[in-house]
Structure 1
Amino acid sequence: MTFYDEIGGFPTMQKIVAKFYEGVATDDVLRPMYPEEDLGPAEERFLHFLVQYWGGPTTYSEQRGHPRLRMRHAPFAVDAVARDRWLQHFRAALDSVDLTPEQDAQFWGYVTHAANFMVNTPD
């Protein structure tokens, strides 16, 4: 059983990502990093990335190829403030679903590592 299956599969991932993007939609630091008027496409890409990362279907790679996260984020100035806002919204998203403390810690560990890795602009 994958972590994806363990936490409830697609419905759980969809709820996490939807809650995350609710926060992003009104965030004055993060929203400008999403050039599309509608956040829907970004939300869908992120959903499929997380689904695949945690052991679900490989839709992300089939549609977009290798994630190349740093390259895809390179056009945007990601500093400590942006990282912290991103993590704030992701924390709210994880808090919106029913994960065990161990599952929450595993997910949170990954996203905090990823958020730090995306920082490309020194303070």
Structure 2
Amino acid sequence: MARYSVNGAAVAHVRDLIAKRQYVLESDWGDAQPAAVVQNAYLDRHSWAEYASWHLGLTEGATDETKARYAFVVGDLRRVHRSGLIACAYRAAEWRHKQVELAAHDLLQELDRTAGIE
């Protein structure tokens, strides 16, 4: 099974988006998560560092600047999605990637506080 470390740059990016209120509170993550064609179009216009900033996990042993390196996407490449953070926390918990799970959980709590969700 792949192992992941937390992408600190992505955590900072998501925190910044939350502070700027660049988030979606209600969405179907199955529809909102960026498809491969959307990710490819994004990479045509943005750097790998910008692409990476949407992924809370870094695949250990994978080569930088490859899609295999970046895991646990939490936004649509424009805004962070609450449903994306929930999906990330759930998937990370399911596969016992504890540090990614906790990072997603903490960001979800921060988003909820900012949005006034009790």
TM-score range, shorter chain: 0.3 to 0.5
Query: Relative to total residues, which structure has the larger strand share, 1 or 2?
Result: 2
Larger radius of gyration: 1
**TM superposition score normalised by structure 1:** 0.33
Query: Relative to total residues, which structure has the larger helix share, 1 or 2?
Result: 1
